[in-house]
Amino acid sequence: MDFSWKPVIDAGAISIALVVATFLRARLQFFQKYLIPNALTAGFLLLPVYNYLFPFLGYDQNKLGELVYHLLNISFISMSLRASSPKIKGHKGGGVLGMSTGILLGYATQALLGLALTLFFLPKMFPAFGLFLPLGFALGPGQAFAIGKGWETMGFSGASSIGLTFAAIGYLWASFGGVYLINHGLKKGWLKSELLSSMQNRTMLTGIVAREEEKPVGARLTTDNEAIDSFSFHSAAVLLTYFLSFLLLSAITMGLSLLGKAGRDLAVNLWGINFIFSSITAIIMRKIIEAIRVDHLLDNETLSRISGFSVDFMVAGSIAAISLVFVTTFWFPILLMSTLCGIMTTIIVPWFCSRMFRDYQFERMLMIYGVSTGTLSTGLALLRVIDPEFKTKVASDYMLSAGLTFLLAIPFILAINLPAQAAVQGTMVPFWIMMGIAFLYLVYVLVTYGILAGRKTLAQPASWWFTE
C-alpha cells in the first residue's frame, strides 16, 4: 500500500544522529570541554546528509522545516502548561527583574545592531535580514525558522535557512564563548576555583549517567497505568492545547480575511509567530485546569520531558534543514553580522550583569549569556558548570522571570515583520519604526538597569567586570 514514510524517515534520521552525538559526547573530550549540546552535534552531522546525500537519492528535505515549526510550538505549550514556580524566600534584590532585563538587553542590542548593519547592504539585501540576529541568537532556531518562513512569502527567498544558520552560529557562541568566559573569569578572579568542581563530574561532562550511579527521577505518575499511561495523558493534554491554538488562530485568520488583502497578509504573518498563540492558549488552559481543581493531574517534570524532547529534536532538525545553497549566497553578511553580534554579546552581558545584580553575579551572567546566544537549555548547561545542583537562586529566578519576559517581548515579536513590510510596500518607514521600537526596548532596559544597579550604574566603566 502507498503509505508515506517521510515522517518516519525524518524522525529516524534525527534519532540516529542524536544517538551518535550522545556517544561522541561521552567519548571525546572536545565535546565535553566545550559542553557542546548533543542536539547541536546531531544537527551538524545531518547537515551534509540532507543537503547532498538525500537529494542524490531523490529525497526532498523541504518538509523537515515543518517538523521544526510544530516542535517549537509544542515546546512552548508544554512549558506554559507547567505550574508556576512557587515564590521562594530570599528572592529579593531585583534578581527576577534583573534576569528579565538581561534577556531583553539581548533582544534590543542585537536588533539594533542587525538593523544598523543591514543599512550598509541595502538595496541588495532584504530589509529584515538583520533581525535574524535576535531571532537566531536570543530567540532560537524555531522562531528564526517560523518567522523566516513567513518572510519567504514576502519575497525573501531562503529566509528560513538563513535564520536557522544564525541560530546554529549562536549555539556555537554559547558553547565556545561560555566556556571562554568561565576560564577567563577563573583567571581574573571573577569566581572561585572551588566552584568549578563540577567540571570533574563525569555525568555532566559525558552527558550520560554511569552504570553505578543512582538514576535521577525525571517524571512522576499522575494516572494509573491500567487506565492510561501518565506520559500518554500528558502528551494528550499538550496536543489538545495545540489543537485549540490552531482553532484560535484559524478563527483569527477568518476574521482578518474579512478586511481584504491587508488582513490576509497579516494573518499569514501571525501563523509565523504561532508559538505566541500556542503559549497564550496554554496559559489559559492552565488557568481553567486550576479553576476546576484538576491541576494535580499535570506533573511539571513530565511536561519538562516533553519540552526537552521537542527542543532536542527541533534543534537537530533545524540545523539539518539549513539549505547551504542560500547560505553560501549570503556568506559574507552572515559571517560579519554573527561575528559582531557574538563579540558584542560577550562584552556587554558580563559588563551589565556584574553591576546589575547584588548576588551570584557570575552565575547569573552565565545563564543570561547562554540564553542570549542559544536557548534555555544552553543557559542551564553553562550554569551547571558552577552550580551543578542549582543550589543558587539563579535558575529559579530565571523561571520566575520567564512570564514577565514573555509579556514584555510580545510587542517586539509582533513588530518583527515591519522591516519585511518595507520590502513589500516599497517604503522604509516600517523599517525605521522597528528601529524605534528596538530603541525603546533599549531605553527600558537601561532605565531598569539603572534602578537595579544604583551607585554601580556607571562604576568602573572601562572595566569588563565590576569588582568591589
Q: Which residue has the cell 568561565?
A: 182
Contact status, residue 466 vs residue 140, Cβ threshold 8 Å: no
pLDDT in single tens digits along all 468 residues of the chain: 567 788 888 899 999 999 999 999 999 988 888 878 898 899 999 999 998 888 888 776 556 777 888 888 898 899 889 876 555 444 455 688 999 999 999 999 999 999 999 999 988 899 999 999 999 999 888 888 888 988 988 889 889 899 999 999 998 999 899 989 988 988 888 877 666 665 566 676 787 888 888 888 888 999 998 999 999 999 999 999 999 999 999 999 999 888 887 777 677 767 877 878 888 899 899 999 999 999 999 998 999 899 889 988 988 988 888 888 888 889 999 999 999 999 999 999 999 999 999 888 999 999 999 999 987 778 887 887 787 766 788 887 887 787 788 889 888 988 998 999 999 888 999 999 999 999 999 999 999 999 999 999 999 999 999 987
User: How far is it, in rounded angstroms, from Cα 242 to Cα 278?
Assistant: 6
Domain ranges of the chain: 10-205+236-454
What gap in Å lies between CA 80 and CA 162, rounded to an integer? Answer: 28
Rounded to whole angstroms, how far apart are CA atoms 392 and 399?
13
Residue 380 grid cell: 542551564
Question: DSSP alpha helices (H): ranges in 159-273?
Answer: 159-172, 178-188, 202-206, 230-257, 261-272
